[in-house]
Structure 1
Amino acid sequence: MGEFASKLAVQSPAFQRAYLGSLTPNLVKSGNLEKYYQTLTDFDFLVAKINHPEFGVQPLIEDYDLSLITQTLNYSKYNSEKVKSLQLIQGALRLSAHVLAVDKEQLASQLHGRLLHHKMPEEIQELLAKIKQSIATPWLCPLTLSLTPPGGRLLRTLTGHNSWVNAVAITPNGQQVISASSDNTLKVWNLETGGELFTFTGHTSDVNAVAITPNRQQIISASCDNTLKAWNLETGEELFTFTGHSDSVEAVAITPNGQLMISASSDNTLKVWNLATGEELFTFTGHSDSVNAAAVTPNGQQVISASSDNTLKVWNLATGEELFTLTGHNDSVNAVAITPNGQQVISTSSDNTLKIWNLGNGMEEFTLNGHNNWVNAVAITPNQQQVISASRDTTLKVWNLGNRVEEFTLNGHSNWVNAVAVTPNGQQVISTSSDNTLKIWNLGNGMEEFTLNGHSNWVNAIAVTPNGQQVISASSDNTFKVWNLATGEELFTLAGHNNPVNAVAVTPNGRQVISASRDTTIKVWNLATKEEEFTLTGHNNWVNALVVTPNGQQVISASSDNTLKVWNLATGKEIFTLKGHTNWVNAVAITSDGQQVISASSDNTLKVWNLETGEELFTLTGHNHWINAVAITPDGQQVISASSDKTLKVWNLTTGEELFTLTGHNHWINAVAITPDGQQVISTSRDTILKVWNLTTAEVIVSFTADSPIRCCAVAPDGETIVAGDALGRVHFLRLEEIKGG
């Protein structure tokens, strides 16, 4: 504990509260900016403020806002580098706010993961050095910059939904955000602080869309339960339910005068409702497939609908008459937006494009190409200069509507981006995703100064060479990379598969790397020459996992064809096939004596096999969902399995008995690894968290939260360095420090 924390700890709670609350404002008012700066770069102060029950991360973030006051910059001692340092620390805290709100112990890890870069100001480097000197408890220290750094376009992540976030709306005053989710709820958020204000519950299925009345008093939601609901935005009270559609309601729009509501449904129709009475006025029919989106012109006279029949239709809102149809997309039209001047319509489609149409004559003006998957949503800035598109390729793109050029891409979501909205001032973008989060982006200048090394797609597997010098990562970008374990530097990339690489293994002598792919093949590479030696073929579906026998003579593969195969690594010949699972085989491990193989499957079981005879010895049952990973303790006595049921189980390998269950993750567990001494277990999950467990006590020692789901992990021979790969393609090099005995 540092001097600041030691002095504060002996004071009364009332003194601590008053002191922490007034310290930074008083320093600015008194003009003591040097002390103000020292305070906000003192790790002990950060810890004290964030851990105090009446403060936390948001009040700490607000302390840094004082550095942005113009008069502060006029003091000669308060130079631009110091201001930049404070802004970077504040930005890092804001990016990690959703993590620190639930796990304050990660403060050191999060700051390291976002600020550890040689281009950071000297003051930042000093702060990181102070952190390492101050920490006296176990923590995971990132060895490289592996989390999104501050200074870019991403400002904050909002977490709280436990399923896909499908839609978003912003109140006209720009102060609140409303999100709609497949967890059947809507949430209201404070846009400034990122705090969740309250939750609307009442729908019995996915909430697909949300809209806000112009007077800011009501929220309208549309759901897969075939209804729409009206809510009081101030009280959260459900006002009434609109029933009439015979299938899922996909979208909702409100006229500018707030009197009418238009709903779009998978029953191929749109309905017009009186918003005050809840009365259905009339139905638009004409589409031959699901109606996915609807928008009202600024003058309130027309409705434009988008459909899975590949068309848009323009309707007269007063008469219900179809005016004309816009044709040109060659797949489902998913979203539609109208420019504020009412002259142009922008549509997005599953044909991966956006189209801009002239609303006056119904003619297509031009097409925007750039996404490599369905374009799910679109928004237009208030000044009509930019279009923002959201796609299943996990990105948002910002386009210049005038010159039709893509200006930049927003990367950060780890799953489909489903919706996008722009704040009324045109400065921020809010996106929602199937990764269960909302993200807030700066639409203005974003300094992309710091590059994070990694793949361009998911990292699916990690392996460490036996000498502990290199790391191999396998990715859905069809490649695998070799890294220096000590520095985190990428050494080289090997490409040869024409589909995602699901697994990678290294021979005991460290000379060969074996890779497995969704292209059903296994390739053997010479690590020194970087050349492919030969290919193993025989599986008829994805190859998901690999393990090499301790003697280096055989490799065992696990496949989505429900089998395992044993191969002669010298000749490339298949020796035999292990059959017994009734669903995909996702993982495989082998005992240190090379006698037994354990497989994990989507049939919710593990099987133990005799490697010499190929005989199935017994089956381990207990998980109630897919088993994604398996590891064996070095002494060969215990097996640890990781499952989509959010648990790990520890089994006695001799008896097949389940010993105990490790619970703590709140989403699928993707991977598991064991330290060489057999005392700790590392698990990674779709909840974005890596956990280190004490295998004896079954307790979590320490956690680390990434910016996206962590899909794989491995432990170096030193037992302290952990390498993990995530869904954004990043490779995290972490050191487990300050482990205490017992």
Structure 2
Amino acid sequence: MGGIAAKLASKSAEFQNLFLGQFPEQQLKVGNSKKYYETLTDFDFISLKIQYPQFGVETLIRDYYLIDDPEILDRLEEDERVDYGQVKTLKLIERTLQLSAHILNQDPNQLVGQLWGRLQSFPEPEIQKILVDAVQSKSENPRFYPITATLTTPGGNLLRTLTGHKASVNVVAITSDGQTAVSTSDDNTLKVWDLQTGKETFTLSGHQASVNAVAITPDGQTIISVSNNLKLWSLKTGKEISTLTGHNNSINSVAITPDGQTAVSASSDNTLKLWTLKLWTLKLWNVETRRETFTLRGHRGLVNAVAITPDGKKAVSVSNNLKLWNLKTGWQISTLTGHKDSINAVAITPDGQKAVSASSDTNLKLWDLETGKAISTLRGHTDSVNAVAIIPDRQTAVSGSADTTLKLWDLQTGNVISTLSGHKDSVTAVAITPDGKKAVSGSADTTLKLWDLQTGKAISTLSGHKDSVTAVAITPDGKKAVSGSADTTLKLWDLQTEKAISTLSGHKDSVTAVAITPDGQKAVSSSTDTTLKLWDLETGKVISTFTGESSIYCCTVSPDGLTFLIGEHSGRVHFLHLEGG
């Protein structure tokens, strides 16, 4: 046991911690460069600090950086500084430790072998003394050390080896300031590295296949990675911002324009695609802290539906119960219970004071959102109630059921006003025109029907989907409707001509919900393919995509047209903000 090791052995753990952690810096700051140099060329100190639980090799390496610290150097007189020869020796040790850091982080007991394999060829007396002390140091276990300097020596081109990926590393990108690197791998991840310390800052997980390429925006804020899709990540937080889909095969490369506004991706589907990075990007926000990834947690089962109050301040989500949320803080206000089976749909009255829920227990319930209490139960359907909508400016609701009918309800009395029959299978969706005179229903019979609510008669049947119609929404002017289907498509309908205008294709599985922005220009759809898509209704093109972690069963848009709520199979409710435009 050497001098430092012997002295520390008799000291308290607190003293050992202070000595190993602070002694070199303290000595240099008071101008005692001799003691600083002696400490950092002492094998005992090097070995102890690497093996000490609170420190390790990276902390030790930072001790050697101190001789380059301008704040320290400016305070020292010329004769208090480490001389050139000593600096050379310290740099050799520092760079040796950098070369070996990835090994010593895993196994500090290899220190002797690493020093011998890299430093034998250097004649400096302190270097040779370190090697002698190293090989003479005691060890509880046998250890290898090279007879000759066969490992990479310090002073060459190699500075560090960064380890952590579990499969082939494919591509690396470096930020413009040279401080950070991002690597991609066949292990489906990206890793962010601090190039000064060699430490892994983040592991970015989300891709389902090999990550083939990566690019960093010129401002150093955003990472774009490509696999079977493109993902945008925050370099600061390591969080996923959004997913861009559109290629039909693996994406092999990506590049960003110098202004950081546009990305170009190249794919095995024989195409290149240009992506606007700033316009219409979806981000997940915590609206209280303004941090990404705002998730409303509380449901224990899949979230089937969600609705936002007209003032945009609250939301109601439904699963096996109803939950009322404050959208400003993200706090849960209350839980509303009373149904005996899963709740499939919810609608909020125009004044924002009440909600109507539809359940598989065959009933609807009218709720007071202020008290969280059920006002009444609406009974009349003979099978699961799948959809509900409230007529504007009237105390009337319309429901759709697996019993193939729609019913109009008087919300003041709880009585059925009329029953609308015509579908041949379960009614899965319903929407009402802004003037409250007509309704559009969707059914498992693959059709939509346009209804006159005053007469209770079907005006027309809209055919075109190849599977169950799962969702429907009407534009604010009442002239068009958008339907979603289990056939993976959406269709835009002209309610005046009763014809399909266009088919919106892009989802890979059943469309579960659809909503239209207040300006009537865009629609948002959710799907069991785990994505939310924003569509331009004029062009029929996808503007942006957000990918969740499980099937998305519902979506709605707030009155500002920029805020969305979506509910996942996992029970999460995501609060999304549409940025740009």
Class of the TM-score when normalised by the shorter of the 2 chains: 0.5 to 0.7
Contact 2:209 2:228 in 1 (8 A): no
C-alpha separation between the residues in 2 aligned to 1:505 and 1:140? 25
Q: How does 1:534-549 map to 2 (within 5 A)?
A: 534-549=376-391
C-alpha separation between the residues in 1 aligned to 2:520 and 2:208? 35
Report deviation, 1:46.
13
C-alpha separation between the residues in 2 aligned to 1:109 and 1:656? 49
C-alpha separation between the residues in 2 aligned to 1:673 and 1:47? 41
Question: Against the structure 1 CA distance between its residues 643 and 525, is the aligned structure 2 distance closer, same or farther, given a 3 Å change threshold?
Answer: same
SS in 1 for 2:304: strand
After superposition, what is the alpha-carbon deviation per residue over 1:228-285, rounded to whole angstroms, capped at 9, x for unaligned?
xxxxxxxxxxxxxxxxxxxxxxxxxxxxxxxxxxxxxxxxxxxxxxxxxxxxxxxxxx
C-alpha separation between the residues in 1 aligned to 2:236 and 2:531? 12
Report deviation, 1:110.
13
Q: CA RMSD in A?
A: 3.8
Quote the residue 1:103 is aligned against: 229
Contact 2:473 2:482 in 1 (8 A): yes
C-alpha separation between the residues in 1 aligned to 2:298 and 2:483? 27
Question: Against the structure 1 CA distance between its residues 551 and 58, is the aligned structure 2 distance closer, same or farther, given a 3 Å change threshold?
Answer: same
C-alpha separation between the residues in 2 aligned to 1:698 and 1:684? 16
Q: Aligned match of 1:30 in 146, 159, 176? A: 159
SS in 1 for 2:203: helix
Q: Aligned match of 2:566 in 724, 727, 739? A: 724
Quote the residue 2:438 is aligned against: 596
C-alpha separation between the residues in 1 aligned to 2:399 and 2:362? 11
Q: Aligned match of 2:283 in 133, 136, 141? A: 141
After superposition, what is the alpha-carbon deviation per residue over 1:342-375, rounded to whole angstroms, capped at 9, x for unaligned?
xxxxxxxxxxxxxxxxxxxxxxxxxxxxxxxxxx
Q: How does 1:308-707 map to 2 (within 5 A)?
A: 453-475=297-319, 478-707=320-549
Quote the residue 1:429 is aligned against: none
Amino acid at match of 2:396: Q
Quote the residue 1:441 is aligned against: none
Amino acid at match of 1:683: S
C-alpha separation between the residues in 2 aligned to 1:46 and 1:605? 58
Contact 1:56 1:101 in 2 (8 A): no
Report deviation, 1:102.
2.5
C-alpha separation between the residues in 2 aligned to 1:602 and 1:110? 46
Amino acid at match of 2:555: C
C-alpha separation between the residues in 1 aligned to 2:440 and 2:325? 29
C-alpha separation between the residues in 1 aligned to 2:350 and 2:334? 21
Question: Against the structure 1 CA distance between its residues 58 and 735, is the aligned structure 2 distance closer, same or farther, given a 3 Å change threshold?
Answer: farther
Normalized against structure 2, the TM-score is what?
A: 0.58
C-alpha separation between the residues in 2 aligned to 1:95 and 1:140? 20
Contact 1:92 1:111 in 2 (8 A): no
Question: Against the structure 1 CA distance between its residues 683 and 472, is the aligned structure 2 distance closer, same or farther, given a 3 Å change threshold?
Answer: same
Report deviation, 1:609.
0.5
C-alpha separation between the residues in 1 aligned to 2:489 and 2:241? 33
Question: Against the structure 1 CA distance between its residues 57 and 545, is the aligned structure 2 distance closer, same or farther, given a 3 Å change threshold?
Answer: farther
Question: Against the structure 1 CA distance between its residues 108 and 526, is the aligned structure 2 distance closer, same or farther, given a 3 Å change threshold?
Answer: same
Quote the residue 2:556 is aligned against: 714
C-alpha separation between the residues in 1 aligned to 2:427 and 2:185? 43
Quote the residue 1:387 is aligned against: none
Q: How does 1:75-94 map to 2 (within 5 A)?
A: 78=197, 83=199, 86-87=200-201, 89-92=202-205
Contact 1:632 1:639 in 2 (8 A): yes
Report deviation, 1:103.
2.4
Report deviation, 1:490.
2.0
Amino acid at match of 2:203: Q
Amino acid at match of 2:280: P
Tell me whether 1:738 sits opposite 2:580 in the alignment: yes
Amino acid at match of 1:104: L
Contact 2:550 2:570 in 1 (8 A): yes
Question: Against the structure 1 CA distance between its residues 588 and 93, is the aligned structure 2 distance closer, same or farther, given a 3 Å change threshold?
Answer: closer
Contact 2:231 2:240 in 1 (8 A): no
Using the TM superposition, name which of 91-100 and 679-688 deviates more: 91-100
Report deviation, 1:31.
5.7
Question: Against the structure 1 CA distance between its residues 47 and 527, is the aligned structure 2 distance closer, same or farther, given a 3 Å change threshold?
Answer: farther
Question: Against the structure 1 CA distance between its residues 682 and 97, is the aligned structure 2 distance closer, same or farther, given a 3 Å change threshold?
Answer: farther
C-alpha separation between the residues in 1 aligned to 2:156 and 2:418? 74
C-alpha separation between the residues in 2 aligned to 1:466 and 1:698? 27
Question: Against the structure 1 CA distance between its residues 451 and 593, is the aligned structure 2 distance closer, same or farther, given a 3 Å change threshold?
Answer: closer
C-alpha separation between the residues in 2 aligned to 1:110 and 1:615? 58
Q: Which has the higher strand share?
A: 1
Question: Against the structure 1 CA distance between its residues 608 and 93, is the aligned structure 2 distance closer, same or farther, given a 3 Å change threshold?
Answer: closer
Quote the residue 2:24 is aligned against: none
Please identify the structure whose Cα radius of gyration is greater.
Answer: 2
Quote the residue 2:131 is aligned against: none
SS in 1 for 2:367: strand
Report deviation, 1:584.
0.4
Report deviation, 1:651.
0.7
SS in 2 for 1:459: coil
Q: How many residues align?
A: 371
Contact 2:204 2:238 in 1 (8 A): no
Report deviation, 1:483.
1.2
Report deviation, 1:527.
0.7
Amino acid at match of 2:580: E
Question: Against the structure 1 CA distance between its residues 110 and 480, is the aligned structure 2 distance closer, same or farther, given a 3 Å change threshold?
Answer: farther
Report deviation, 1:735.
0.7
Contact 1:647 1:669 in 2 (8 A): yes
C-alpha separation between the residues in 2 aligned to 1:597 and 1:576? 13
Quote the residue 1:406 is aligned against: none
Report deviation, 1:30.
2.6
C-alpha separation between the residues in 1 aligned to 2:349 and 2:554? 19
Report deviation, 1:136.
2.4
Question: Against the structure 1 CA distance between its residues 581 and 60, is the aligned structure 2 distance closer, same or farther, given a 3 Å change threshold?
Answer: closer
Question: Against the structure 1 CA distance between its residues 705 and 451, is the aligned structure 2 distance closer, same or farther, given a 3 Å change threshold?
Answer: closer
C-alpha separation between the residues in 2 aligned to 1:142 and 1:533? 35
SS in 2 for 1:502: strand
C-alpha separation between the residues in 2 aligned to 1:636 and 1:660? 17
Normalized against structure 1, the TM-score is what?
A: 0.46
Gap regions ≥5 residues in structure 2: 1-101, 103-154, 163-171, 212-224, 243-259, 262-275, 288-293
After superposition, what is the alpha-carbon deviation per residue over 1:658-694, rounded to whole angstroms, capped at 9, x for unaligned?
1110001111111110000011110111111110011
Question: Against the structure 1 CA distance between its residues 713 and 113, is the aligned structure 2 distance closer, same or farther, given a 3 Å change threshold?
Answer: farther
After superposition, what is the alpha-carbon deviation per residue over 1:122-165, rounded to whole angstroms, capped at 9, x for unaligned?
xxxxxxxxx99x952321010149xxxxxxxxxxxxxxxxxxxx
Q: How does 1:133-282 map to 2 (within 5 A)?
A: 136-144=278-286
Quote the residue 2:165 is aligned against: none
Amino acid at match of 1:588: V
Contact 2:387 2:430 in 1 (8 A): yes
Report deviation, 1:113.
5.7
Question: Against the structure 1 CA distance between its residues 106 and 693, is the aligned structure 2 distance closer, same or farther, given a 3 Å change threshold?
Answer: farther
After superposition, what is the alpha-carbon deviation per residue over 1:48-91, rounded to whole angstroms, capped at 9, x for unaligned?
97xxxxx8664894655x77xxxx9xxxx84xxx95xx45x314
- How high is the sequence identity, in percent, across the aligned residues? 41
Amino acid at match of 2:488: K
Amino acid at match of 1:90: T
